[in-house]
Structure 1
Amino acid sequence: MSRSRASRRSVAGGIGLAAAALLAVAAPVPVSAAPAPADAPTAPVSAASEDYYAPAQGKTGEALKAALHDIIDNQTKLSYRQVWDALGDTDEDPANPDNVILLYTGRSQAKSEHGGNLGDWNREHVWAKSHGDFGTVTGPGTDLHHLRPTDVRINSIRGNKDFDNGGDPVSGAPGNHTDGDSFEPRDAVKGDVARMILYMAVRYEGDDGFADLEPNDRVGNGSAPYHGRLDVLKQWHRQDPPDSFERNRNEVIHRHYQHNRNPFIDHPEWVEAIW
């Protein structure tokens, strides 16, 4: 049961403490509340980021994808244990520095309330770790650009499903839907999900001992190194452009943890240029 939506993110992001000094110098321009045009949303990019992306400028298609891979695969890797503390910084609630914002529910929850019990939050692999069988080992299994805090129960409901429109409402997580082989997140984070999936497809190209991850237009990908559905993810990317929370998250990961960036947050137009 499919349907399309054209709503913008309703929960504004904020500035996390870990990147406040950086953003005070170059605060991002607010994203318009109007729906993004169908032909490539844009986001502000700092001069430092433009230098970072210099080898990719002027390229399209596979050449652009290859250039971005060469840029972003130069990163510091975290252990799975270190991810707990890192998520406390990357997803900090701008209104309460003791809390994080959970991806699918939007709930603000104490950073300390993480684990495996009902009511806790845990570490969600947005690119399901079984899609390529990388588990939680250092590398794709610990890459902060696709790891987000989520409610334990909602994480279990999502499981390793591909992303698509449609399904039944998820109890306790308004705006989320699911069926037997797909999961649809709430409108406010649809673009976040899309850009995390596409980041993974560029970062992991099979040249570092892990699978070559790629998006496709299927659901039910299981353990294959694919994630769907690409057309829907591109739709979500257009409908929900990067906001200040997502851009700040990118800065915190780059400045304090992995020292690499998600290019589709900085240059949303590159999604259409590659796919």
Structure 2
Amino acid sequence: MRPTKAGRALAVSTLSVALAVPLLGAAAPAAPATDATSVDAPYFDDAYYADAEGLTGEPLKQALHEIISTDVTTLSYSEVWDALKDADQDPADPGSVILLYTGESRSADANGGNVGDWNREHVWAKSHGDFGTSRGPGTDVHHLRPTDVQVNSSRGNLDFDEGGSEVSGAPGNYRDSDSFEPADEFKGDIARMLFYMAVRWEGDEGFADLELNDATNNGSAPYHGRLSVLLEWHEQDPVSAAEQRRNDVIFENYQHNRNPFIDHPEWVAEIW
């Protein structure tokens, strides 16, 4: 039997405390890692994934779907603002957030829709499944990130692929008529967010079955691509300390579910 949500949360909380307490006489811990820093030690209790142990392929995908869809709290779209201010907090400046695509630190209070503000980027574009911003995939913080308003507009609902012209105001990011390529330090993050969405939202709960494919120009179909490129990005840009912290914050403070591909990156190859 899979542990209860309360039991899993307690286990994660206990582990987090243990990890946070330095050994007697040890040197002071280093400053929080940036998104580009990969780490090896996971910050989760593996009991959470007990029902997925030993599985591969479609059975693994289905087991993970059940795990990350059970006892989940869904947020309103307005509640997402506070969740992002917490999950994407700048470790060097608690009053700011780190923006996706650019890596810029910007005041957490500069959220809105005007030039110079940051807003809520749907990494799995809303039109790819037509799920809007009602409680559900459109408010799932695991794929929502703070992003500069103009950069968000430039990305639009494009699929992800490589190539194009550099995006104004976002060095290292590129776009063309049918795709968007993020900066190298965010490529793996984006891949793992899309892997999560394709497992979390499987056509139940009144929403479309979101799936990954190896195409661009998916438009309004409930597909996102390009899968082969996302798999490469997942390998090229390993899980970072910032992703792990974000996963913990969303689990403990907001949705009470996790992105399994941050905790177990090896499961990507087992499913896709």
TM score, norm. by length of structure 2: 0.87
For residue 110 of structure 1, what is the aligned residue in structure 2?
A: 107
For the pair shown, which has the larger CA radius of gyration, 1 or 2?
2
* Structure 1 residues 202 and 193: alpha-carbon distance in aligned structure 2, compared to 1, 3 A threshold: same
CA distance in 1: counterparts of 2:40 and 2:49, whole angstroms: 14
Greater relative CO (CA pairs within 8 A, separation 6+): 1
Alignment partner, residue 19 of structure 2:
26
Contact persistence 2:42–2:244 (CA under 8 A): no
| 2:78 corresponds to 1:56 | no
Displacement, 1:43?
Answer: 4.5
1:122/1:150 contact within 8 Å kept: yes
Match of 1:68 among 34, 54, 64: 64
Shift of 1:171: 1.2
Question: In the TM superposition, what are the counterparts of 1:119-134 in structure 2 within 5 Å?
Answer: 119-134=116-131
**Residue correspondences, number:** 250
Match for residue 194 of structure 1 among 191, 196, 200: 191
Given residue 140 of structure 1, which amino acid in structure 2 is its aligned partner? Answer: P
Segments of structure 2 that go 5 or more residues without pairing to the other structure are: 1-11, 21-31
Letter in 1 for 2:58: E
Which runs of no fewer than 5 residues in structure 1 stay unpaired? 1-18, 37-41
1:166 is paired with a residue of what secondary structure? coil
CA distance in 2 between counterparts of 1:72 and 1:58 reads 17
Shift of 1:49: 2.5
SS in 2 for 1:176: strand
Aligned ranges for residues 70-85 of structure 1 at < 5 Å? 70-74=66-70, 75-85=72-82
Aligned Cα root-mean-square deviation (Å): 2.5
- Which residue pairs with 2:167 in the alignment? 170
1:1-275 equivalence runs, <5 A: 23-26=16-19, 43-46=40-43, 49-74=45-70, 75-275=72-272
Contact 2:69–2:257 (CA<8 Å) still a contact in 1? yes
Which amino acid is the alignment partner of residue 213 of structure 1? L
Instruction: Provide, for residues 211-247 of structure 1, a one-character-per-residue CA deviation record: whole Å limited to 9, x for no partner.
Output: 0000000000000000000000000000001110010
Letter in 1 for 2:65: H
Give the TM-score taking structure 1 as reference length.
0.86
Counterparts of 2:183 and 2:255, CA distance in 1: 27
